Amino acid sequence: MKKIVLLFAAVLFVAGTIMAQSEQNKSSVTISEGSDNNDVTVTQDLDGDDLNVSDVDILDHSDDNDVYINQDGEDMRSDVSITDHSDGNEVGVDQYGEGQDSDVDIDNGSDDNLVGVLQVGEDNESDVSIANGSDENMVYLEQYGEDNNSDVDIANGSGNNYVGTGQYGEDNESDVSILNGSDGNAVLTLQYGDDNESSVDIYNDSNGNEVVTVQDGDDNDSDVEIGNESNGNYVETYQEDYNHESDVLIYQHSDGNVIMVGQEGNYSTSDVEVSYGSDGNFIDVDQKK
């Protein structure tokens, strides 16, 4: 699983159009009307707490574009939107400093896009949304520092997407939601440090998804919910060191799911609940020190 980290290092360094501003930066780039094979680089570098804002929109059947965003300073914001059947685009976002915010939206039947987000600092927020029949996209998120938050939503019939998140530090939180008939997605969440929280929700007729959560440190918490006729999902949670807590809930006619919980260390707690006519599920809990 450590290979995920190496993938970030290689993700998307694009040479192209460069826009660099000096203060109170705001950059807007729009690629639309079937525009293909464009290269865009946005660089924003400031001292102090001035606001940097970068907006990139890829719209209207625009394919195979490369976008690289680099922001260094405080209170930075990056928004990337890929929508309207725009396929095969590559987006890289690097943010260094404090108070960073990255939003990536893949929507309206946009497939085979690759997104890599790296945040280094404190109080970071990374949000990714894949929705409305957007399939086979790949998203990698890495956060280094404290008080980081990662939120990934796969919804509205979006299938076969891959999401990998890595958080390294303390007081980190990761939230993943797979909902509304989204099938065959794979999610890997890595958290290294203390006082981390991971939450994964699979619901609304979402089938055949795979979710793996790895937490290494003390005082970690993992929550997984499978509900509303979601079948054949695979969930694995592995926690190492002390004071772990793992909660898994399967409900509302969800069948044939596999739950694997491994806890290594002292003072571990695992709770699994199966209810509301859910059949043929397999649960394995392994606790050791």
**How high is the pLDDT of residue 74?**
86
Look at residue 21 in the predicted model and tell me its pLDDT.
Answer: 43
Strands of 39-89, DSSP E = 39-45, 52-58, 66-74, 76-82
**What is the rounded CA–CA span in Å between residue 222 and residue 238?**
9
**Separation in Å, CA 285 to CA 63, 103, 133, 261, 270:** 45, 36, 35, 5, 8
Residue 57 has a pLDDT of 96
Whether 154 contacts 183, CB under 8 Å: no
Tokens of 158: 């979006």
Res 143: pLDDT: 97
| 3-state class (DSSP) for residue 30 | strand
Per-residue pLDDT tens digits for 238-281: 999 999 999 999 988 999 999 999 999 989 999 999 988 999 99
Placement of tokens 């896009």 in the chain = 113
- Residue 277 tokens, joined: 């006519």
Cα distances (Å, whole numbers) of residue 11 to 4, 88, 145, 184, 278: 11, 14, 20, 24, 41
pLDDT of residue 104: 93
Per-residue confidence (pLDDT) for residue 214, from 0 to 100: 97
Over the stretch 55-78, which tens digit does the pLDDT of each residue have? 999 999 999 999 999 999 888 899
pTM: 0.89
Name the nearest CA neighbour of 147 among 166, 124, 174, 127: 124
Cα dihedral 87, 37, 102, 168 sign: positive
User: What SS3 class is residue 119?
Assistant: strand
- Taking residue 271's Cβ as centre, other Cβ atoms within 10 Å add up to 12
The pLDDT of residue 203: 87
Q: What is the pLDDT of residue 3?
A: 40
- Burial readout 117-127 (b: 16 or more C-beta within 10 A, e: otherwise): bbbbbbbbbbb
3-state DSSP call for residue 154? strand
Which of 153, 61, 146 lies closest to 105, judged by CA?
A: 153
Residue 7 DSSP class = H
**Distance in angstroms (rounded) separating the CA atoms of residues 257 and 234:** 6
3 state SS of 262: strand
Whole-angstrom distance, CA of residue 161 vs CA of residue 111: 9
User: Is the CB of residue 234 less than 8 Å from the CB of residue 224?
Assistant: no
Query: Residues 25, 48: contact at Cβ < 8 Å?
Result: no
- Those residues of the chain that have pLDDT short of 70 are 1-24, 48-50
Hey, CA dihedral for 148, 144, 235, 244, is it positive or negative?
negative
Measured between alpha carbons, how far is 129 from 93 in angstroms, rounded to an integer? 15
Give how far Cα 212 sits from Cα of 162, 215, 224, Å: 12, 10, 10
